[in-house]
């Protein structure tokens, strides 16, 4: 068997007795070797969430056969479900502006094999990072937004959407992309766009959160990786972290501390997503780490 290749089943359904037994029994019936299993029952919504990893070579059929056979069980329990194959890397498109710390960290993790994805391209509204991205052998696409011209911006976002769709991207990553996505863009790609925001949301949403934190005199600053929705910085949160500060720290100090948090939080959030560890529950997430 090849232990590196796994099928990952994720699902949610109305909570009831027998879900775990039914799913585990299904795989046992076909000789499936479950190597990781996580469960959560959400009392507020009455829904049950599950994630299981199964060795692909332990089953007598391929991914399509697995999906076909599992569909009957899924109907019985009214499941929302999907099965992914670890041999098929998630296709990632990255959006960035001028700041490169998050992009640099993601490309480093990708190059050393820590982040197992296929980075299709990097899109930016500035041309500054072209040589850096192309040095990694990744296509770089400059989409000019021409300042604050609303018509030009709308056209630019349509181009970005077309590039994303043409690339057959699985996830669009805003790695400090300092632009607000249009509501229609967010609706069309719900659950397929993640952002890193440089504050511990829901505190200090919007622009210049470090300046807001400095003015408020907080003792902790942080960063938040979340799914993008129509409401600015209000999507389901995937990952967060903080660092302690004190009265002697300037805004510039906060920005410097924050860069370290931003890149690690984004990397963890993206990894959780591409490993199918994140299930959305309303405006919250279930994250099976």
pLDDT along the chain (289 residues), means of 10: 80 98 98 97 96 97 97 98 97 97 98 96 96 98 84 90 95 95 93 95 91 94 96 95 95 95 98 98 96
Where would I find the H helices in the chain?
Answer: 19-29, 63-76, 101-111, 130-135, 150-166, 183-188, 209-216, 251-274
Please pick, among 105, 233, 249, 276, the residue that the annotation labels catalytic: 233
In this structure, the chain runs to a length of 289
Where would I find the H helices in 112-149?
Answer: 130-135
CA of residue 187 relative to chain centroid, distance: 16
Cα–Cα separations (whole angstroms), residue 181 to 137, 194, 253 = 27, 11, 29
What is the reported pLDDT for 90?
97
Helix axes 209-216, 251-274, angle to 10 degrees: 130
- Chain segment 116-151, per-residue pLDDT in tens: 999 999 999 999 999 999 999 999 999 998 767 788
- How many angstroms separate the CA atoms of 192 and 188, rounded? 9
Contact present, 192 and 169 (Cβ < 8 Å): yes
Q: In the annotation, is 233 catalytic? A: yes
Residue ranges, comma separated, of all CATH 3.30.70.260 domains in the chain are 6-85
What is the reported pLDDT for 76?
97
What is the reported pLDDT for 2?
45
How is residue 191 annotated by DSSP? T
The whole-model pTM stands at 0.95
What is the reported pLDDT for 150?
81
Cα–Cα separations (whole angstroms), residue 147 to 97, 100, 152, 263 = 13, 20, 8, 27
Residue ranges, comma separated, of all CATH 3.40.50.170 domains in the chain are 91-287
Contact present, 48 and 15 (Cβ < 8 Å): yes
What is the reported pLDDT for 104?
98
Domain 6-85 in CATH 3.30.70.260? The answer is yes
For tokens 């129509």, the residue is 230
Q: What is the phi/psi pair of residue 262, to 5°?
A: -55, -50
What is the reported pLDDT for 46?
97
CATH class of 91-287: alpha beta
Helix (H, G, I), strand (E, B) or coil at 225: strand
Cβ neighbors of 185 (< 8 A, separation 6 or more) are: 157, 160, 161
What is the reported pLDDT for 16?
97
What is the reported pLDDT for 1?
43
What is the reported pLDDT for 149?
77
What is the reported pLDDT for 9?
98
Contact present, 245 and 253 (Cβ < 8 Å): yes
Give the CA count within 13 Å in the CB-facing half-sphere of 93.
Answer: 20
């Amino acid at each position: 068997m090849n232990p590196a290749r796994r099928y990952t089943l994720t699902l949610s359904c109305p909570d009831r007795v027998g879900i775990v037994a039914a799913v585990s029994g299904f795989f046992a019936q076909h000789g499936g070797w479950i190597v990781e299993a996580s469960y959560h029952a959400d009392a507020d919504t009455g829904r049950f969430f599950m994630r299981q990893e199964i060795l692909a070579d332990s089953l007598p059929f391929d991914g399509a056969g697995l999906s076909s056979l599992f569909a009957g069980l899924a109907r019985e329990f009214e499941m929302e479900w999907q099965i992914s194959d670890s041999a098929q890397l998630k296709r990632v498109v990255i959006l960035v502006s001028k700041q490169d710390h998050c992009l640099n960290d993601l490309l480093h993790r990708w190059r050393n094999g820590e982040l197992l994805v296929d980075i299709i391209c990097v899109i930016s509204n500035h041309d500054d990072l072209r040589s850096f991205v192309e040095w990694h052998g990744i296509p770089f696409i400059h989409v000019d937004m021409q300042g604050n011209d609303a018509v030009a911006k709308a056209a630019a976002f349509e181009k970005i959407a077309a590039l994303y769709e043409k690339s057959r991207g699985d996830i669009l990553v805003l790695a400090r992309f300092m632009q607000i996505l249009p509501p229609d863009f967010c609706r069309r790609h719900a659950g397929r766009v993640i952002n890193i925001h440089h504050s511990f949301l829901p505190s200090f949403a919007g622009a210049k959160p470090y300046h807001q934190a400095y003015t408020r005199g907080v003792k902790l600053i942080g960063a938040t990786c979340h799914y993008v929705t129509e409401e600015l910085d209000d999507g389901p949160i995937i990952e967060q972290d903080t660092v302690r500060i004190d009265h002697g720290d300037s805004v510039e100090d906060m920005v410097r501390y924050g860069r370290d948090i931003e890149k690690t939080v984004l990397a963890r959030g993206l990894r959780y997503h591409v490993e199918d560890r994140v299930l959305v529950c309303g405006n919250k997430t279930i994250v099976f780490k």
